[in-house]
Amino acid sequence: MPRPLIDLLWRDHPDAPAGGSRGPRARVSTGAVVDAAVGLADAEGLEAMTIRRLGDALGVSAMSLYTHVNSRDDLLVLMTDEAHARMDRPPYGRLGWRSRVRLVAEANLALIQAHPWLADVADERTALGPGTIAKYDHELEALTPLRLDPVTCDAALRFVLDFARAGAVAMRPRPHAADLAEHWPEWGVRLAAYLGDRHPLAQTVGAAAGEAMGGASDATLAWDFGLARVLDGLAALVR
Amino acid sequence: MPRPLIDLLWRDHPDAPAGGSRGPRARVSTGAVVDAAVGLADAEGLEAMTIRRLGDALGVSAMSLYTHVNSRDDLLVLMTDEAHARMDRPPYGRLGWRSRVRLVAEANLALIQAHPWLADVADERTALGPGTIAKYDHELEALTPLRLDPVTCDAALRFVLDFARAGAVAMRPRPHAADLAEHWPEWGVRLAAYLGDRHPLAQTVGAAAGEAMGGASDATLAWDFGLARVLDGLAALVR
DNA sequence: ATCAACCTTGTACGACGTACAACGTATATC
DNA sequence: GATATACGTTGTACGTCGTACAAGGTTGAT
């Protein structure tokens, strides 16, 4: 009964199992379900992407979706692959590895900013669909000038992608931040009272970083700083 | 009615509001609730840490917990601060910045391995309790030999902590990994058929990385690789 | 015409966080 | 000592979730 996830991922491939021809035709396709799910999660977050709301959006009952998708968890994998498949993959041309790595990092930042729920999906790497593999291939190609062995190359890519993910998470507005800002006039003075003159280093740096946080330029600055460190760190491999 | 979160975080501080003396004494303390929550989340994951199960574990009704904690979300913040407070903070002595940064990274790896749910908590930085601030202060101290301005120092620390978090996430067993391994005999051949000879780079590197993944030494190797890159990246600041 | 395969649907179950009101218990005040 | 007040505890209930299950409708194969 449940179609294997691997076949759902590759549903557009010519060799994918077509399924019998009996019975009424499906009113919605698996692809339409995935697209609607991505749209809903983009607009309102992953927790708003519920089976019932998805059914409403598609004009179909909630349970009907289980014909096209085995479970919500599987749907998350399909969504992930779909998001990866939509990414632009411009050729690298004659760019050096620094520019290439920068492109990869920025593309992943843009990816997670366009689909913030990707940061909440458990494992983006086990979505072995066409989009994810094409992305993987394209990103590995960026690292070829570094001439690394396969395992190291994979580790280097993970290093860059983990940085990009963390940067994207730091940039997205956090739910508690609003609460904190709201209560800050009251909480700030209490915190100062609790702290007294202890942890002067944390107080100094925290105050400076906190001010920068207000301007929201803080995350961008941290991104630039981190990306420079990533590139310098990788540069040590080719020296 | 709801005690401010900031006061709950600093509940052990002498200046913390004590609350009236009327009425029966509480059968459990806020600290006990937090400890039990941490234990439950450590043992069975964050999604197993439900209000009802927590009440059972403490021999108290579910709703009774709302006397000590304003909401489950607040409890997550208290748990985060508690985990931070429990961390060891050995003095750095005469260690150079490389050894210090290594210590910070490894301490955070151990932290998240001891409390995997920390990786799922939204914002670990806005838990402005005694544990979190002490941790922040101690980690900033590791970076003092680099002689960075406050904002850069904060960015550097975030860079290290984000790396450590990603490394810990890579090491923890992922839920889907078991399913994937289970179906791999069937899925592997289908995937090979779908791929054909396309994406040779991804296939080569993926196969090598996949084999390493089976041995579980993969994540450790990626950790060593990444930590070396982090240190080399930071070294470029002091040249 | 019959059958089998397939899609769709409504209902239902057990979980979740938590609002609400009732009840019991301890101290403060007189 | 009597009373008022504040506080802890509890059971019930609401709306949400994912999804198991069974019934019914629709289509092509035989």
Amino acid sitting at position B35: D
Q: How far is B168 from chain A (nearest CA, A)?
A: 11
> By the CB < 8 Å criterion, does B143 face chain A?
no
Q: Is the CB of A98 under 7 A from strand D?
A: no
| Angle, in degrees to the nearest 10, between helices A72-85 and A130-143 | 50
Q: Which of A178-192, B3-17, B78-92 shows the lowest per-residue confidence on average (mean pLDDT)?
A: A178-192
pTM of the model: 0.94
Question: pLDDT confidence of A183, banded at 50, 70, 90?
Answer: confident
Q: Which positions of chain D lie under 7 Å from any protein Cβ? A: 5-12, 16-22, 25-29
pLDDT at position A175 over 80:
no
The beta-carbon neighbor of B133 closest among A136, A199, A231 is A199
Own/partner pairs, B92-99, CB within 8 angstroms, 24+ separation: B92/B141, B92/B142, B96/B145, B97/B142, B97/B143, B97/B145, B97/B146, B97/B234, B97/B238, B98/B231, B98/B235
The stretches of chain A forming alpha helices (DSSP H) are 5-9, 30-44, 51-58, 72-85, 97-114, 130-143, 150-171, 175-195, 200-215, 217-235
Q: Are B3 and B70 in contact (CB under 8 A)?
A: yes
Could you report the per-residue pLDDT of B19-46, keeping only the tens digit for each?
Answer: 778 888 889 999 999 999 999 999 999 9
Contacts of A173 by beta carbon, 8 Å cutoff, 6+ apart: none
The beta-carbon neighbor of A209 closest among B154, B225, B233 is B154
State how far the Cα of A101 lies from the Cα of A109, in Å rounded to an integer: 12
Which chain B residues in 149-188 sit with Cβ < 7 A of strand D? none
- A72: closest CA among A41, A51, A43, A46? A51
**pLDDT for position A182:** 82
Could you report the per-residue pLDDT of A191-213, keeping only the tens digit for each?
Answer: 999 999 999 999 999 988 876 66
Segment A100-108 mean pLDDT: 98
**pLDDT for position A152:** 94
pLDDT at position B179 over 80:
no
Distances A161 to A103, A147, B104 between C-alpha atoms, Å: 11, 19, 21
Question: pLDDT confidence of A3, banded at 50, 70, 90?
Answer: confident
* DSSP conformation class of B3: P
Q: Are A209 and B150 in contact (CB under 8 A)?
A: yes
pLDDT at position B159 over 90:
yes
In the predicted model, what is the mean pLDDT of chain A?
A: 92
CA dihedral A225, A228, A234, A238 (to 10 degrees): -150
Q: Are A30 and A11 in contact (CB under 8 A)?
A: yes
Q: Are B72 and B5 in contact (CB under 8 A)?
A: no
> By the CB < 8 Å criterion, does B126 face chain A?
yes
B148 vs A176, residue with greater confidence? B148
Q: Round and report the angstrom distance from CA (A50) to C1' (C18).
A: 21
The beta-carbon neighbor of A151 closest among B7, B212, B228 is B212
- A44: closest CA among A56, A59, A27, A61? A56
Contacts of B119 by beta carbon, 8 Å cutoff, 6+ apart: B112, B165, B168, B169, B172
**pLDDT for position A219:** 84
- A55: closest CA among A69, A43, A44, A45? A69
The beta-carbon neighbor of A232 closest among B130, B205, B233 is B233
State how far the Cα of B191 lies from the Cα of A130, in Å rounded to an integer: 10
Q: Round and report the angstrom distance from CA (B26) to C1' (D6).
A: 13
Q: How big, in percent rounded to 5, are the helix, strand and coil portions of chain B?
A: 70, 0, 30
**pLDDT for position B110:** 98
**Residue A99: CB atoms within 10 Å:** 14
- B168: closest CA among B86, B224, B214, B112? B112
pLDDT at position A109 over 90:
yes
- Which residues in chain A touch residue B128, judged by CB atoms under 8 angstroms apart? 187, 191
Could you report the per-residue pLDDT of B183-235, keeping only the tens digit for each?
Answer: 888 899 999 999 999 999 999 999 888 766 655 567 889 999 999 999 999 99
B229–A231 CB contact, under 8 Å: no
Could you report the per-residue pLDDT of A19-66, keeping only the tens digit for each?
Answer: 778 888 889 999 999 999 999 999 999 999 999 999 999 999 999 999
Residues in reach of strand C, judged by a CB distance below 7 angstroms, are A 19-20, 22-28, 55, 60-64, 66-68; B 21-25, 49-53, 62-63, 66, 71-73
**pLDDT for position A228:** 98
Could you report the per-residue pLDDT of A111-154, keeping only the tens digit for each?
Answer: 999 999 999 987 777 889 999 999 999 999 999 999 999 999 99
Q: Which of A198-207, B152-161, B173-182 shows the lowest per-residue confidence on average (mean pLDDT)?
A: B173-182
Segment B127-146 mean pLDDT: 96
**pLDDT for position B215:** 53
Could you report the per-residue pLDDT of B95-119, keeping only the tens digit for each?
Answer: 999 999 999 999 999 999 999 999 9
A226–B159 CB contact, under 8 Å: yes
Question: pLDDT confidence of B147, banded at 50, 70, 90?
Answer: very high
State how far the Cα of B139 lies from the Cα of B29, in Å rounded to an integer: 30
**pLDDT for position B125:** 78
Question: pLDDT confidence of B178, banded at 50, 70, 90?
Answer: confident
Segment B131-144 mean pLDDT: 97
pLDDT at position B181 over 90:
no
Could you report the per-residue pLDDT of B42-91, keeping only the tens digit for each?
Answer: 999 999 999 999 999 999 999 999 999 999 999 999 999 999 999 999 99
Segment B142-152 mean pLDDT: 95
What DSSP element (H or E) covers B80?
helix B72-85
- Which residues in chain B touch residue A191, judged by CB atoms under 8 angstroms apart? 6, 10, 128
